[in-house]
Structure 1
Amino acid sequence: MNFLSRLLPASKFKLIISCIGVMALVVFSGLILFEATKAEVAVTENGEKQTVQTHANTVKELLTELGITVGEHDSLSHRVNAQIKDGMHITYKKANKVIVKVDENEQIYFTTKDTVGEFLQANGMRISKHDEASHKGSEPIKNGLTLTINKAFQVALHNGSKKEKVWVTGGTVGELLKRNGITLDKLDKVKPAKKEKVTEDTPIKITRVNKDLKSVKETIAYDTEKREDSNLEKGKKRVISEGTEGLLVKKYEITKENGKVVNRELVGKNVKRESENRVVAFGTKVEQDLVTLSSSSSNNSSSRSNDDSGSSSSGNDTTAQPKESSDQVFTMTATAYSADCSGCSGYTATGINLHANPNKKVIAVDPSVIPLGTRVWVEGYGYAVAGDTGGGVNGHHIDVHMPTRADALAFGTRTNVTVKVLD
């Protein structure tokens, strides 16, 4: 101003000052009017709200002023060509990129949803309770999020004799068994193998294997042994001893698959009892029938005994000494037997039928001591004929025949019995 006052006259200087003042007032008033004509708009950008004053005519102009570029997938509450109005509220949200992998198939999405669950619902995707997802529905969406979904499918499972279907999202057979709490014993088998991948079209078969040991008793058949007997009339036979079956115990390993026997293997055997041969004597004697001689001798002895004593219902005095002299007198042990038993043939070694003649006085002897067919007198028994042999009758031992088992038991075993050989 000092510069202008020195160059210009005072009147002109005052005029210029007045003009400048007027212009300044006009500019100031214009500024006030400009500011007064701005619209007040609320803008929410990605959840953050701000209020702006703007002379922009359209939403696009306002967003440009704010440095906001609306992308193809972004969300905008108004059209970009919408006119700006005072009090308007504009909402803008930038879309996030989401990568979705379903059973190894990948697809890219853009979304403005806040959570995984909202995103799935908006895009018509459903996750069942059997599916597996990398993120929960409540988790927030972040740009670049990768959502992995393994869809479940059913697999036929044959667990021994039990059949069922189980849900699985892949993995190996071993992993499927573990998830379902299925364990395998040492001998069990599974197909496909535990390391194989699970597929929808391949059933899983578990074979339950059990092995048990079982003992089985079997009889051992006896053989028949034939012996010639010169004291037995030719054409006749006599059972010396009945055969006895042996006992064999076999041990088998039984393999069962799902409860059914698939293999039976012999792993051991043990003979518990040996068999004993059946011994049969076949007569070879062609001389006069010993039975006739024995019967005759016995009858003669009985007659003589009756004549002498007149006692005993069998015609045989068991106490009186015989009148006949004897060159051979023995002191022996005497036991008793009876043909009155189950399985007994009733025939003696000399062919006497004791079943038909239960009261016949017959003793079993060792033929090397007292020859068969010999007439004898036995202390406490009386007159008899040596008409039989026995497996336990050896040396100075005789076995006297009694009509019944009760009689034989009553006789018992007697020692120091006098036996006289009469002829």
Structure 2
Amino acid sequence: MCGGGTTIDTRICLLWRDKACRLLLGVFLSFAALLFCCLIWGKHLVVSVDGQEIPVIQFRGTVADALAKARVTLREADIVEPSLYSRVADAERIQVTRVTTEEITDQQFVPFGVEKKPDRKLAPGQQKVLRYGSYGLSRNYVQVTYQDGKEVKRETLRKVLIRKPQPMVVAYGPNYAVSRSSQRPVIGGAIRSNSIPEKGGKILTAVSTAYTHTGHRTATGIYPYEGVVSVDPRVIPLSTKLYVENYGYAVAADTGGGIKGNRIDVFFNTYQQAISWGRRTVKVHILE
């Protein structure tokens, strides 16, 4: 580039080229010095956000400054750990959790209650359904919270009753008389006692479990109530009157896929009663 021309022109050209080389060398050395300082005295951070790991080198400042360098934009509900205004430390990881919410609706059955009416025309311990109950229906407005796309919480904002439940009405005969020492509280119209029927037929030993309202009818077409027992009809025919130890007088009016052999499933009005019954071995009297 400096070839040809006068001697003065050649000298000027060489002078400019020398200045340019020195300038480039100065810039390179400055950059190298800056890089060296960053490596030695800079704080090495990692910002974890949106599935990415963003490295950041920072001499001082807060977590908020580090996020600004990483060009991370926060939303109002996002969670940052450590907190935004804490001072950064070397080898620190800054975790940004994206928080979003949405409102959804779902429908839920409202269980019906049971109204009991005494009826002296019925035999002691006998029950008769006067009116089958029906479940109500409610619409629930639910706020779902997500963290990084994963559901972490559901909160019911409000409930709207769409259809009121209708109670089941059951008539029952007078309670069996039992001695004062053996008497137990009456639950759901059935006697809870250890008194054994004076006249009984075959006695089975069975493994018993409990169930409660499901919204479905039994195998005999009725809605279950306390005193209904699910059986294996090959062992205990449907419509057989029973006395179940610690449960009371009952009728075999339902079946179940898991009820095989000497097993029964006794019905309770509430989930808590069914859980309290649990699983136990009982004696079942086949009444004649």
TM-score bracket relative to the smaller structure: 0.3 to 0.5
Q: TM-score, normalised by structure 2?
A: 0.42
Q: Which has the larger radius of gyration?
A: 1
Bigger RCO (CA 8 Å, 6+ sep): 2
Q: TM-score, normalised by structure 1?
A: 0.31
